[in-house]
Amino acid sequence: MLYFSKLRITLVSLVTLFFIFIAASNFQDSEDSFISKKINLGLDLQGGSYLLLEIDNGPVEIQKLQNTTTVIRNFLKDKKINFNDLRIENKKIIFNVSKDNAELVENFFLDKESEINPYYNQYKSHQFDLEIQESEFILELSKYGLIEIKTSSQDQALEIVRRRVDEVGTNEPNIIKRGNNRILVELPGLDDPMRIKSLLGKTANLTFRFVTQNSNDTFGTEMLQFEDGTNEAMVSKRIILNGENLLDAQPQMNNQTNETVVSFTLDRVGAKRFGKATSTGVGKQLAIVLDGKIVSAPTIQSVIASGNGQISGNFTFQSATDLALLLRSGALPAPLNIIEERTVGPDLGQDSINAGVIALMIGFLLVIMFMFFKYKIFGLIANITLLVNLFFLIGILTLFEATLTLPGIAGIILTVGMAVDANVLIFERIKEECKKEKNNIIAFDTGYVKSKTAIIDANITTLIAAVILFFMGSGPVKGFSVTLAVGIFTTLFSVYFIARMLTGLYVVRNKEKVKLI
């Protein structure tokens, strides 16, 4: 009948002690304690910055189209096929081919092994979708072509963002992909993300190009503004060097001019090219272009073959440091936009923790007082169960190193309020059974059995809500769903193992008692 083996009692006690131990490890400071696991505090509790960045892939797509246009031009020339009017219009590549060649050209693009329109074997779809209107060929990036562009620019951007954030040296940043064109950056402890935001807001695309007066330059020219906005100059589109050729960049004081500059070191290829360009271009102005703006355009005085150089341009020490950092970490494949920012100062985080802990203690006290008043001994048992339940909940959150947020704390407090429900259902049922049944032990057993379906159903409905919240919710709200869901399991465990054992032991001793509850 109602019998609890010594083994069972020992096991339950051990499990309980284990979780109390784990939960307590959160309050130890020493790193080398037996269990070094701790609950992570969310950004809303420890303070910090949350930035969601979206990659603007428009320029990358256009770049891809431009590159492909060149490839197509060379390819068709190679195959000696006449074409005309090759152009980009509305993100489509369009060209005309005479009727006799149409079928041949179509095959080039639709062949499974196509060189100029790849991906078929990987995705069962080409990089470009081809549409033919009479003699006009229209190529548009296919779904997979676009995905490929997005994922590759996301991979690159992630790497560059990571380097830039690491260079600034914040503690334990969390940088992860979101979807296929977003990057999430979490910076714990950072209460003013201004600097990181401005560093991430720059593509840092560096090029060295000659200033020219001749608008008939073979590579084409463009008018670019100077960074300070005062002036503009015509610059050749021919790129002498770009940021990829940079090995290192550092801020420096130029002793002669007393100016802050960024000094750089080029790699071998870069040094060679730079030497060649400076040797042919003595007396010419070399524009240093960053993100479409001219930083400075010094006149070349002599050949620079060492691969070392300096960029000047009205820098403060801070702006020179930042530019050097950007150049060291490399250019982003595409511009990033900050589409969501949430920053919490550390003092607000601490206030939230304090408020949460006070609310938890008061809520807990109110609930246990009410339960004791209502059920006396059984209430006391329910309260012990509730306390153990709290240890279980905190212990499991610790074991999984879950992230605790302010709504998460609310979830714990709510669990305190709702966890007693299972015990209440059981106690009320036992009370009812006692009215019909003289034998306390039978009434007790029946109470447990008959309340089971209601308890399971009631908890599963809450669990369903928590699971949906976990998958649909974001950030702090996710933390709420985690504590709520874990709370359900710990509640069921503590009720069916601990409360049942304690109440059972009490009932066995009070078999003859007239009024059990």
Partner 1 sequence: MINFNKFYKLFNLISLSLVIISILLLFFKGLNFGVDFKGGTLIELRSDDKNINVTSLRSSFSKMNLGDFNVKKFGNENDFLIKIEKKDTSANAIEIIKKELTSSIGGSFNFRRVENVGPKVSAELLKSGVIAIALSLVAMLFYIWIRFEWQFSLGAILALFHDVVITLGLFSLFNLEINLSIVAAVLTIVGYSMNDTVVIYDRVRENLRKFSDIKIFELTNISINETLSRTIITSVTTLLALVSIYLFGGEILKGFSLAMIMGVVFGTYSSIYIANPILVKLRVSQKTILKENTE
Interface of this chain with partner 1, residues 51 to 90, rule: CB under 8 A: 52, 54
Indicate which single residue of 337, 376, 400, 401 sits in contact with partner 1 (rule: CB under 8 A).
337
By CB under 8 A, how many residues form the interface with partner 1?
72
Indicate which single residue of 363, 496, 497, 501 sits in contact with partner 1 (rule: CB under 8 A).
363
Tell me if 484 contacts partner 1 by CB under 8 A: yes
Name the 3-class secondary structure at 291: coil
Indicate which single residue of 22, 466, 482, 499 sits in contact with partner 1 (rule: CB under 8 A).
466
Stretch that binds partner 1, among 251-259, 312-320, 396-404, 450-458 (CB under 8 A): 450-458
Q: Cα–Cα–Cα angle for 494, 499, 502, nearest 5°?
A: 135
Integer Cα distance of 152 and 158 in angstroms:
10
CB atoms within 10 A of CB 222: 14
Q: Cα–Cα–Cα angle for 205, 209, 325, nearest 5°?
A: 30
Tell me if 48 contacts partner 1 by CB under 8 A: no
Stretch that binds partner 1, among 5-13, 130-138, 321-329, 340-348 (CB under 8 A): 340-348
Tell me if 200 contacts partner 1 by CB under 8 A: yes
49 is written with which tokens?
């910055």
Integer Cα distance of 428 and 455 in angstroms:
12
Stretch that binds partner 1, among 159-167, 262-270, 275-283, 343-351 (CB under 8 A): 343-351
Using the minimum distance from each CB to partner 1, give the nearer residue, 54 or 140. 54
Integer Cα distance of 41 and 515 in angstroms:
48
Indicate which single residue of 130, 138, 168, 414 sits in contact with partner 1 (rule: CB under 8 A).
414
Indicate which single residue of 477, 501, 505, 508 sits in contact with partner 1 (rule: CB under 8 A).
477
- Which residue from 343, 323, 330 is spatially nearest to 162, judged by alpha carbons? 330
Stretch that binds partner 1, among 240-248, 292-300, 315-323, 465-473 (CB under 8 A): 465-473
Indicate which single residue of 188, 251, 333, 356 sits in contact with partner 1 (rule: CB under 8 A).
356
91 is written with which tokens?
């993100």
CB of 163 to partner 1, least distance (A): 18
Indicate which single residue of 12, 320, 469, 495 sits in contact with partner 1 (rule: CB under 8 A).
469
CB of 193 to partner 1, least distance (A): 9
CB atoms within 10 A of CB 496: 16
Indicate which single residue of 409, 443, 486, 517 sits in contact with partner 1 (rule: CB under 8 A).
409
Stretch that binds partner 1, among 209-217, 228-236, 325-333, 469-477 (CB under 8 A): 469-477
Using the minimum distance from each CB to partner 1, give the nearer residue, 86 or 418. 418
CB atoms within 10 A of CB 21: 13
Using the minimum distance from each CB to partner 1, give the nearer residue, 9 or 464. 464
Tell me if 352 contacts partner 1 by CB under 8 A: yes
Q: Which residue has the tokens 């940043």?
A: 173
C-beta of residue 394 within 8 angstroms of C-beta of residue 466? no
Sheet strand arrangement including 128-133: 83-89, 92-97, 136-141, 128-133
Integer Cα distance of 161 and 38 in angstroms:
28
- Which residue from 468, 458, 450, 454 is spatially nearest to 488, judged by alpha carbons? 458
Name the 3-class secondary structure at 236: strand
Using the minimum distance from each CB to partner 1, give the nearer residue, 39 or 371. 371
State the binding string over 369-388 for partner 1 (x if CB under 8 A, else -). Answer: -xx--x--------------
Indicate which single residue of 158, 380, 418, 441 sits in contact with partner 1 (rule: CB under 8 A).
418
CB of 351 to partner 1, least distance (A): 7
Integer Cα distance of 265 and 247 in angstroms:
5
Using the minimum distance from each CB to partner 1, give the nearer residue, 254 or 337. 337
Indicate which single residue of 203, 480, 483, 503 sits in contact with partner 1 (rule: CB under 8 A).
480
Stretch that binds partner 1, among 30-38, 116-124, 252-260, 468-476 (CB under 8 A): 468-476
350-360 core/surface letters (b: 16 or more CB in 10 A; e: else): eebbeebeeeb
404 is written with which tokens?
């605790």
C-beta of residue 480 within 8 angstroms of C-beta of residue 410? yes
CB under 8 Å to 378, separation ≥6 — which residues? 423, 427, 503, 506, 517
Tell me if 206 contacts partner 1 by CB under 8 A: no
Tell me if 468 contacts partner 1 by CB under 8 A: yes
36 is written with which tokens?
């070094």
Using the minimum distance from each CB to partner 1, give the nearer residue, 104 or 468. 468
Stretch that binds partner 1, among 110-118, 217-225, 448-456, 501-509 (CB under 8 A): 448-456
Tell me if 208 contacts partner 1 by CB under 8 A: no
Using the minimum distance from each CB to partner 1, give the nearer residue, 36 or 461. 461
Q: Cα–Cα–Cα angle for 184, 190, 195, nearest 5°?
A: 80
Tell me if 347 contacts partner 1 by CB under 8 A: yes
Integer Cα distance of 331 and 200 in angstroms:
10
Q: Where are the beta strands (DSSP E) in 26-127?
A: 40-41, 48-55, 83-89, 92-97
